[in-house]
């Protein structure tokens, strides 16, 4: 299907009524400690629906991409930031542009 052009990808699907978009909130520094996450300003923005972070994950805050990887990856930073660009949370909004602006 892919070589015939028949494969349908996420970006090929037209937006649906009521569809929400998300954008990661990421760290700007590496090798640091996260003091706190305060999404209150983002949540006040028109069109922002919610913010999801480590407190919203039940159970383990990690995942394994492949069985042969060295260890599990953290989903959202809880306290120790290991690299710049590490996800802290996700902003969910009524449009991609609003989500990116709020993040």
Would you say residue 51 has pLDDT above 90?
yes
Q: How much is the average pLDDT of 79-92?
A: 97
Domains belonging to the chain, first-starting first, are 15-102 (3.90.1170.50)
The answer for residues whose C-beta is within 8 angstroms of residue 99's C-beta and 6 or more apart is 21, 22, 23, 48, 91, 92, 93
Would you say residue 14 has pLDDT above 80?
yes
Count each helix (H run) and each strand (E run) in the chain, helices first: 2, 7
**Residue 24 and residue 31: Cα distance in Å, rounded?**
19
**Residue 67 and residue 14: Cα distance in Å, rounded?**
35
Would you say residue 27 has pLDDT above 80?
yes
Would you say residue 2 has pLDDT above 80?
no
pTM of the model: 0.82
Looking at residue 73, what is its pLDDT? 87
**Residue 48 and residue 68: Cα distance in Å, rounded?**
38
Would you say residue 5 has pLDDT above 80?
no
The answer for residues whose C-beta is within 8 angstroms of residue 82's C-beta and 6 or more apart is 30, 31, 74
Interior angle at CA 54, CA 32 and CA 83, nearest 5: 30
User: Taking Cα atoms as reference points, which of 28, 68, 69, 36 lies closest to residue 53?
Assistant: 36
């Amino acid at each position: 299907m892919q070589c015939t052009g028949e494969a349908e990808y996420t970006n090929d699907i037209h937006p649906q009524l009521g569809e929400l978009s998300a954008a990661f909130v990421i760290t700007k520094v590496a090798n640091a400690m996260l003091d706190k996450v305060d999404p209150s300003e983002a949540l006040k923005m028109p069109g922002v629906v919610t913010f999801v972070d480590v407190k919203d994950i039940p159970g383990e805050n990690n995942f394994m991409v492949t069985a042969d990887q060295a260890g599990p990856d953290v989903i959202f930073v809880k306290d120790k930031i290991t690299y710049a660009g590490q996800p802290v949370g996700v902003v969910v909004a009524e449009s991609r542009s609003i989500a990116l602006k709020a993040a």
